[in-house]
Amino acid sequence: MSNSIQKIRQDFPILKRLNRGKPLVYLDNAASSQKPDCVIEALAEYYKEHNSNVHRGVYALAEEAELLYHDARKTIADWFNVSSEEIIFVRGATEGLNLVAQSFSQRHLNPGDSIILTQMEHHANIVPWQMVAKQRGVEIQVVSILKDGSLDLDELSSLLAQEKTKVLSLCHISNSLGTINPVEQIIEEAHSHDVHVIVDGAQSVPHGKLDLKAMNCDFFTFSGHKVFGPMGIGVLYGKKEILESLPPYQGGGDMIDEVSFSGTTYAPSPQRFEAGTPNVSGAIGLARAIDYLRQHDMDELAQHENELLQFTQTELLSIPGLTIHGTTPNKASVISFLIEGVHPHDLATLLDGEGIAIRTGHHCCQPLMKVLGVQATARASFAFYNSMEDAERFVTAVQKSVSILR
């Protein structure tokens, strides 16, 4: 794959720049990915040639913008094997989860009901449900993780079987541990107990092609900026029959059918959930990112990422006092680790001096950090444009930093 990866890297202009005077090694992909030229050009082209609001005008620019926005929705729907009516544009996975929590709870949650979360969830999949729990008088139950960072599936099964359980909301891949949850198996079991399932796909969409119809989740959300698209745009997928039963999340222009002071009726989905001026350029840029992924064999790229993961984990574990959190064999290319006697922030600062960008902190997973018994970890996360040279430079820089710091 080395020649193919070098060719892919040429598509990402930021990878050509220096960081602290040294070639950039970007290993913070779980936080946000870099963008290929085609996405950057799509954004520029929209603002140069087609910029207009949508849903309102009959002039040429408005019609062009409307068509581009419509086509972007269809491109994304086709990639996930669902219908355009089931694709809602949001600002990101966080808004997608808030939308589901608020709208779904109004129709389907009552006092005494229960929501299941897991210990590995991002704050974006915890706080919205805590807000709903207070509003609706429902209970949150939390599934434990095992020592290797995988879910305790026996405990999950027990909670799903409870009559009061109505919702399970979980991540497809942990942003901190890299654990890949067996969502298809989990969804099938949940549905057998009439439990609705929301999947936070922010970390999984960048690493492979997903068939949401086959997955059979009730809702799925992700952020564009993690999948090589622009910031400020994301997608919420929902089954059409469920979306049609839900009230809108926000009110305003273009989510309405008819407005009067005596009452308002609402447009059908997805327009019902897209109040106000939408992020047209973001949708176009995200669709272009999906088109870019379509040009590649996602299975081959995933294999490349796994090779980087296996090499890096093996080399890091040769460092005395280094612990990796999240060791299940079925994991994405994310490595969270600590080194005895070395603070993660100090390590990241020295790595930055070597041109290497990683993330340190609690990764918006404070409950998980508490379970692990740590305040923070260092995290290196790979994308398909990372090379074996990136991995080698990272390992060498960590070894050098450890020799300085302890």
Residues with catalytic function: 364
Token pair in block for residue 251: 């009110």
Do residues 14 and 25 make contact, with C-beta atoms less than 8 angstroms apart? no
Buried b (16+ CB within 10 A) or exposed e, 2-34: eeebeebbebbeebeeebeeeebbbbbbbebbb
Helix (H, G, I), strand (E, B) or coil at 44: helix
Q: Where are the beta strands (DSSP E) in 315-376?
A: 322-325, 334-339, 356-357, 359-361
Cβ count near 45 (within 10 Å): 15
Question: If 0-12 CB within 10 Å is exposed, 13-18 middle and 19+ buried, where does residue 202 land?
Answer: buried
Nearest Cα to Cα of residue 352 among 331, 380, 330, 372: 380
Token pair in block for residue 278: 């939408």
Tell me phi and psi for residue 302, to 5 degrees.
-65, -40
Parallel, antiparallel or unpaired: strands 322-325 and 263-266: unpaired
Instruction: Please tell me the distance from the alpha carbon of residue 298 to that of residue 79, in angstroms, as a whole number.
Output: 12
Instruction: Please tell me the distance from the alpha carbon of residue 211 to that of residue 229, in angstroms, as a whole number.
Output: 19
Looking up tokens 């620019």 gives 61
User: Residue 380 — left, alpha, or beta (φ > 0 → left; ψ -120 to 50 → alpha)?
Assistant: beta
